[in-house]
Structure 1
């Protein structure tokens, strides 16, 4: 059995009804049980006032019931709005009001509650889901993704990635982070299983690995930052996860240092790198790190070539994407839609705000964010380029850079941070550099011009991350400033 995203219904393939479809901390649902649960949910939802075209907000965290609700919405033609329970109640209510949801569903309890006072159907037809991202004004932005875009995405996983029969996907990313849909769509379209990993499970390394091993996880999709956290666990290797066959990365740059460590722990593992903003249905480009790329070891690895249904091109160095997978616009934000959306070769197109390069073979390399570009002493600098150079230092697993700024917003100087391969105290503090790194500026000078070398380099036991497991530069800056203040007070 599998789920057909084009027809938005279950397909009985004649076998597999008893195979696992979704696993959470409490239970495993077979494909037949999942089908039955979705049918029951649809009946409850309709009695609760859920209607086609009117958004439904789903609140929860890694319950099988969350996935059941998403499938029920797809089958009913109801745009679903995933909101992780980690979000403050005030933000949850703001999202309900923005989408004018008639009903809120609690995935943990299975209950339904009234939404906003004046619910209404979306102006855009055939929307599969609305995913919220942070807005620069403090108000979250709702990205509207069509049912056709989601079907294209699922079809790419099924037809292009060669993941084998009934693959089991590790899914630890919040449902409100669009990258998690790779695991959901991948499991459903292939007749595989989605293994939901709640925060409580992940917190215990040994228990987490045991859970994944028992669930026979074969596909691991995450950010590189999340992988670096797992490298602290001795059981994170082929012996501990014997069924694991493929790593899929996205949302951050993948470095040769990290990939090399994974190949040491998982000999023969496949590594796929991908890229795409929420506004382009999870991903737009992909590449498998083959032997040639592995030998070349560019830093960072390229983010791939455009998918069959996508076009990727540059405008003044900015990565732009076009195709039927591009969003139908931000909900209730005509100002942003006018600024960021345009038409290209008859298709919807989007300014990503990311910087990149494209070679003659169409291979794209990510070069940082436009908003992470700073001007220091008259020079324009991409922080991502400095990050990449830091990872080339001996004994370094990852690097991140912040720009300290004056009150007027101009850059004053850069501070670099590194995660070292050698263990450091497991705390949130900052540490002196390990022995043997006193000449780090000289080593960086072999790769970077003088004006791109940070004024200071500090070691961390681990980088702080956002709820979507990306390096959090703002928190790094807060740690640094707090440490400086503490030193001043001590002196």
Structure 2
């Protein structure tokens, strides 16, 4: 049995019903059980008021119930809006209001609750889902992905990646992080299994490896940052995970150093690198690191060539993408749609904001960002959204955020700056006494991965020629202040 993403229905139902389809912390679910649970969820959703074309938010973490709700929405033609509970309740509620959701399904409580004060059908029809990413205005922005885009994505996994029969996918990425799409779409399209990994399991390294070994995972898709964390565990190797045969990376640059460390641990493993913003349905380019590319060892590795259904080109140094997998536009943001979207050869196009190069073989290499958007552990973050939230702290005039990087460009952590409303001496200063609870205050509006690890005060932010906070100057001030501190005797 499998799930066909062309028809959005279960297929080949006469065989394989007893095979495992989904695993979570509570146990394994067979394909037959998954189908029955999805049909039961649909009946409850209809009774609760779910309607085709009216979005339905899904909140939870990595429960089978979350995936069941996704499949139910796809079958009912109800656009789903995934939101992980890592987000504070205020942000979850705000997303429901922005999308005018008819309902929110609480996957952890197995309950339907109101989704917004004013539910309404979407102006855009035929959507599979709306995924919210960090927004520079202080509000998250909704990316509208059509059903045709998900069908193309599933076909690429099926026809191009040669993952074998009924592969088992490790899925630790949040359902609200579009890269997770690779795991559950791939597993279900190929009639395999999706192994959902909760934060609590991942936090216990021995338990995590044992969980992956017992479920016999074959495909590992993650950010390079996440796999780098696993390398601290000496048991993360072929001996303990003998069924693991493919690594798929995305959302961050992949270096030869990391790839070589993996080949030392897993000598026969395949490594695939990929790239694609949320606006282009998870990925647009891909390349397998073959012996020639491994020997050349460019740093970083290229992000690949365009998929069969995609066109990728460089315009003024910027990576631009065209094809039917490109989003249908940002939700209620005509300003962004006008500046970021275009039409090319009758296909939707998107200007990514990523800098890149294409060589004679068609391989694209990522070279950074045009703006202040960053990737931290794979999460896409608009620094301006953090700035705006910091500025809401009591007795603060303005906020700014700096991403500290290693020499190879990898972001280590975020440092926040406040400009107090009350004037004071120039340079970095201790936080005013009224800001001791700043992390708790920011945590009511931002998920943990967007909260700076440190907050410092700076009277009179240095500014750029366009009168914006000068992040480079703030970073210089911060580093100079830290270097000037004498070690305690």
Q: TM range, normalised to the smaller chain? A: 0.7 to 0.9
Deviations 1:354-401 (A, max 9, x none): 000001111100011112699xxxxxxxx99x96xx45xxxxxx8548
1:484 alignment partner in structure 2? 482
Alpha-carbon spacing, 1:299–1:119, altered in 2? closer, same or farther (3 Å): same
1:358 alignment partner in structure 2? 358
For 2:299 and 2:247, the matched residues in 1 are separated by 18
Do the aligned residues in 1 keep the contact of 2:415 with 2:454 (CA within 8 Å)?
Answer: no
1:248 alignment partner in structure 2? 248
1:122 alignment partner in structure 2? 122
3-state SS of the aligned residue for 1:177? coil
Shift of 1:484: 2.3
Alpha-carbon spacing, 1:10–1:404, altered in 2? closer, same or farther (3 Å): closer
For 2:332 and 2:282, the matched residues in 1 are separated by 21
Answer 1 or 2: higher relative contact order, Cα 8 Å, separation at least 6. 2
Q: Structure 1 unaligned runs (5+)?
A: 375-382, 392-397, 409-465
Do the aligned residues in 2 keep the contact of 1:401 with 1:473 (CA within 8 Å)?
Answer: no
Deviations 1:145-197 (A, max 9, x none): 00000010011001100001110000000110000010010001000000000
Alpha-carbon spacing, 1:405–1:116, altered in 2? closer, same or farther (3 Å): closer
Q: Structure 2 unaligned runs (5+)?
A: 375-401, 420-445, 457-474
Equivalences for residues 315-354 of structure 1 within 5 A: 315-354=315-354
For 1:401 and 1:69, the matched residues in 2 are separated by 35
Do the aligned residues in 1 keep the contact of 2:413 with 2:453 (CA within 8 Å)?
Answer: no
3-state SS of the aligned residue for 2:485? helix
Equivalences for residues 369-448 of structure 1 within 5 A: 369-371=369-371, 390-391=407-408, 399-400=410-411
Alpha-carbon spacing, 1:136–1:58, altered in 2? closer, same or farther (3 Å): same
3-state SS of the aligned residue for 1:122? coil
Alpha-carbon spacing, 1:15–1:402, altered in 2? closer, same or farther (3 Å): closer
The TM-score, its normalising length taken from structure 1, stands at 0.80
For 1:239 and 1:298, the matched residues in 2 are separated by 29
* Residues 1:298 and 2:298 are matched in the alignment: yes
For 1:42 and 1:402, the matched residues in 2 are separated by 42
3-state SS of the aligned residue for 1:57? strand
Equivalences for residues 42-61 of structure 1 within 5 A: 42-61=42-61
1:82 alignment partner in structure 2? 82
Runs of 4+ aligned structure 1 residues displaced above 4 Å come to 398-408, 466-469, 472-483, 488-491
Superposed CA RMSD in Å reads: 2.9
* Residues 1:10 and 2:49 are matched in the alignment: no
The TM-score, its normalising length taken from structure 2, stands at 0.80
Equivalences for residues 71-220 of structure 1 within 5 A: 71-220=71-220
3-state SS of the aligned residue for 1:371? coil
Do the aligned residues in 1 keep the contact of 2:59 with 2:82 (CA within 8 Å)?
Answer: yes
For 1:473 and 1:102, the matched residues in 2 are separated by 30
For 2:352 and 2:28, the matched residues in 1 are separated by 38
